[in-house]
Structure 1
């Protein structure tokens, strides 16, 4: 399977844009360092997975507080078990993965047009594209490891329809670049372009791209045109300072300094770097902006959990030397490295875990979401899934 793809530029602004993992101390200039043992991380992962196992509903799905966002929650929780190493056929949590896949493949959920999100659920009916992207991400990750012929055929059919739906749901606009050249750009909104009046928004664009990239990695055809339009969209939404704005549709047609959203920019670099795009100028602008603008540290900022979640994936892809390759003139002690990031962020994640339940309960969306997010961060070093590999 291909492990890199020029598509990728983002990974997911989960659900409503209000995420829930503990804020990490600054990776740039932490005044004090913490230490943790590998066994403590392993124990936290085991306890977190056991918590999610208990939270799975009888029909195989997970949900946020009040029964919200079942498609997205099932995908994120399912990814946690895949990152552990379990598959449909093997592993300690094979039953949980199998039940989740069966839920996605349930005839009552399948639609002829390829829509994965459950529009019957009020929390998803007005933002079903989140579930579309996350669901595609999970199912493509399962498909890439599936060996059973019949099951592969079912997943392949669903994934092809889902990719087709995502591409049809993409917005389309004309954007004039600084040099005067006009290009076609396309992002995604909470619902399809047809249902949402061609409105686009950065976090959903992230989610859709992540799903498409996972599908491409698994061998599912993805139209190059959709990717080209999405990459052009991200470029059009990048300000001169290197940050990404919330929405092209909601702006003036120009990404202006002062409109940047650091959380979205952090999400942007995550997939671009994990796909191996270290040399192009756009990701370099994003990483510089995030390094200079994200005060991941003491106190809370808007969407700081989102920043920690996606920035961790980006820095993991950088490892301990790629930042220096990108910016060879920067002093080595200022490099953004995975070792520094872990040292500053993981202790806080371990400390905030509920020692009784094994889950994490911070945030507004609920413990299933928060636990899935933290398990993603803690399991990056395993490098099992192509979507998260360096």
Structure 2
């Protein structure tokens, strides 16, 4: 980890001085990482390393989706792995190559086939920008951000859904794009305030009086959706907003509840939302998360799920990554 921190700082200072402050590291150099977390994380990364194919993706099914490749890439970076010279540098490079190739298939910078994929790919590029020594990242990230902004402009709800030309929106896809835009801004890419404000305004239309978020309206509030909505407001530095406090209360009341529809997607967002909202809440959640993941990790280091072990493993690892806090997006 120390080698990664030093090389990242040197790169930011010598190659990308304008990003040195936005992408500053380290995060938790003085804190002790629970041994159980380190063991699980190391085994999980070993699985991702061993199961990556020659294209830079993770086999058939969802493992070939750019969104999954992006989350796997983030899982390596979130452990403080040196993306330029470390043992997983080649794996990170291959996954980035995969994302670049996917973007080349579109003249507008789209990393499809869905905006889910595009949002997570944009997030990965933003987190790599200033850390990974690859000149292709900057133009790819700029194109990806421009695509998100263009999609919002043609959407009457000022949100996003599955396709960049759609006129509909939902909180899962919209939340993914908002987080990606905020990460890009944090990396030094120009993102208009208006885009963030309009995106949050759409999210607000799906938040009920008790702070819970629905999918496309205020009805049917769900825990995962509320975690996504809450995270957007916290990363936008708008925790003083009254609805944000209501959402925090909703998360607190339901902290022992599980969303079994997409369990690893849920854990990915819940961990971040609680950490940003209240570190005491996150500590309680983190202990339970560590305990559950420790008994469900498979012998090969992966976690199993309906959407493929690469996706499940990346989601599980990223839900543990707040114990390290190396990624800039984990800043408070």
Aligned to 1:337: 281
Q: In the alignment, does 2:187 pair up with 1:205?
A: no
Mapped to 2, the partners of 1:304 and 1:372 lie a distance apart of 12
Aligned to 1:31: none
Q: In the alignment, does 2:242 pair up with 1:281?
A: yes
CA RMSD of aligned residues (A): 2.4
Aligned to 2:187: 218
Q: In the alignment, does 2:25 pair up with 1:56?
A: no
- When residues 91 and 111 of structure 1 are mapped into structure 2, their CA distance, relative to the original with a 3 A threshold, is same
Q: Tell which deviates more after alignment, 47-56 or 107-116.
A: 107-116
Mapped to 1, the partners of 2:181 and 2:313 lie a distance apart of 24
Unaligned runs of 5+ in 2: 1-18, 24-32
Mapped to 2, the partners of 1:98 and 1:69 lie a distance apart of 16
1:88: how far off? 3.4
Aligned to 2:139: 157
Aligned to 1:366: 308
- When residues 264 and 108 of structure 1 are mapped into structure 2, their CA distance, relative to the original with a 3 A threshold, is closer
Look at both structures and tell me which one has the larger radius of gyration over its CA atoms: 1
Aligned to 1:234: 203
SS at match of 2:111: coil
Q: Identify the match of residue 168 of structure 1 among 138, 150, 156.
A: 150
TM-score scaled by length of structure 1: 0.72
Q: In the alignment, does 2:330 pair up with 1:388?
A: yes
Q: Kindly provide the CA deviation profile for residues 111-170 of structure 1, in whole angstroms up to 9, marking residues without a partner as x.
A: 3211112xxxxxx3xxx1111101000111111323x4xx33x22111111111111112
1:345: how far off? 2.0
Q: In the alignment, does 2:226 pair up with 1:265?
A: yes
Q: How do residues 101-112 of structure 1 correspond to structure 2 at under 5 angstroms? A: 101-106=96-101, 109-112=104-107
Q: Identify the match of residue 266 of structure 2 among 307, 313, 319.
A: 307
1:301: how far off? 4.4
Q: Kindly provide the CA deviation profile for residues 183-222 of structure 1, in whole angstroms up to 9, marking residues without a partner as x.
A: xx51101112x3x3x0111110011112111111111111
TM-score scaled by length of structure 2: 0.83
CA contact (8 A) 2:78 2:327 kept: yes
Q: Kindly provide the CA deviation profile for residues 28-55 of structure 1, in whole angstroms up to 9, marking residues without a partner as x.
A: xxxxxxxxx9222211111100000011
Unaligned runs of 5+ in 1: 5-36, 118-123, 174-184, 249-254, 321-335
Q: In the alignment, does 2:291 pair up with 1:347?
A: yes
1:382: how far off? 1.1
- When residues 203 and 313 of structure 1 are mapped into structure 2, their CA distance, relative to the original with a 3 A threshold, is same
Higher relative contact order (CA 8 A, sep 6+): 1
1:77: how far off? 0.4
Q: Identify the match of residue 162 of structure 2 among 182, 185, 190.
A: 190
SS at match of 1:288: helix
SS at match of 1:227: helix
1:69: how far off? 4.9
1:70: how far off? 1.8
Q: Kindly provide the CA deviation profile for residues 297-322 of structure 1, in whole angstroms up to 9, marking residues without a partner as x.
A: 5xx644454433312112222454xx
Mapped to 1, the partners of 2:105 and 2:207 lie a distance apart of 37
Mapped to 2, the partners of 1:270 and 1:108 lie a distance apart of 27
